[in-house]
Amino acid sequence: MLLLALMVPVATVQAHEFDITVLGAAGGLEDGNLSAYLVREAGTSSGVLLDAGTVLNGIEKADAAHAFDGLDLGADPSASRSGVILHRVIKGYLLSHAHLDHVAGLVAISPEDPGKSVYALPSVLSVLQEDLFNHRVWPNLGDRGLKPAFGLLHYHDLTPGQTMPLSGTPLSVTAYPLSHGGVESTAFLLHSGQDALLYLGDTGPDAIEPGGHLAALWHEVAPLVRTGHLRGIIIECSYDNRRADKQLFGHLTPRWLLSELAALQALAGVSMTGFPVLVSHIKPLLDAGPTAQTRIRNDLDRDNRLGFHFTLARQGMTLRL
């Protein structure tokens, strides 16, 4: 298993690390490789999927990269290896918003994935109930909404700022709202003991988006940075710096990503040199020339004066933070 250990200064207590397996990395276009991040407490076999644009194909790609070789999957002669991973490793779904590149995999796999919990803000679950699992786009496999509701998926409303345990795992989550071009998105702060991992769904910068949601989020997590208990951040960067602000549609470029991370460091009041940031949701380019990943990497490296440790997400990779 590819395992990248990124070291962060921590307080003198036992650190709880997180294993992150990228089931889907792209921010659109590339069906079969859309946003989906499996997070487990390090050393455990059960976790949750942060967004679910890709599920089964992501499991197969990650398994081919040996992401699950060290896990105790047990024995189930009635299921394929991918089926065992789906049912025994992924204990639930955290959905940041209901755009298709974040939920399509969940919808597609839902008939074969009974009993799973789906955690989201009420605005996100209402879209699932009314616009996806509505017997027109897809049968209602949830436990709410248009009758008959078959109840294969169990919805759990998250309240901003309140922590909820994640069933079947040692993790808990606190949700915070984000603004994504007029759509409510979500940041998830995953907790393991005193340590935490921050995942942001799609978001634009506060300078463009209304509500000051990123500033509020940074206020919440700055104390964790200060004490060394924030293990890392997964955050989007959809476009390179050539993209005009008026065409961001609720996303970040390297310039805006670095600006927002600088705001977090200012609130924390400590150096974040070497702090691990996993860059997600890069939108593939269809024009000739360097790839989106190359352009974004070059933009980040050129202007990364605060010394953040950036890793660009790719499907199948596993990191320990």
pLDDT tens-place string over residues 23-55: 999 999 999 999 999 999 999 999 999 999 999
pLDDT digits (tens, 9 = 90+) for 78-109: 889 999 999 999 999 999 999 999 999 999 99
Q: Is the full-model pTM beyond 0.85?
A: yes
Average pLDDT over the chain, rounded to whole?
95
Handedness of CA 225, 234, 103, 212 (dihedral sign): positive
pLDDT digits (tens, 9 = 90+) for 194-234: 999 999 999 999 999 999 999 999 999 999 999 999 999 99
* Residues ≥6 apart with Cβ < 8 Å to 246: none
Q: Is the pLDDT of residue 307 over 50?
A: yes
Q: What is the pLDDT of residue 1?
A: 43
Q: What is the pLDDT of residue 10?
A: 40
pLDDT-above-70 percentage for the chain:
96
**47-50 and 36-41 strand pairing:** antiparallel
- What torsion do the CA atoms of 84, 87, 93, 98 make, to the nearest 10 degrees? 80
Q: Is the pLDDT of residue 7 over 70?
A: no
pLDDT-above-90 percentage for the chain:
92
Give the mean model confidence (pLDDT) for residues 181-196: 98
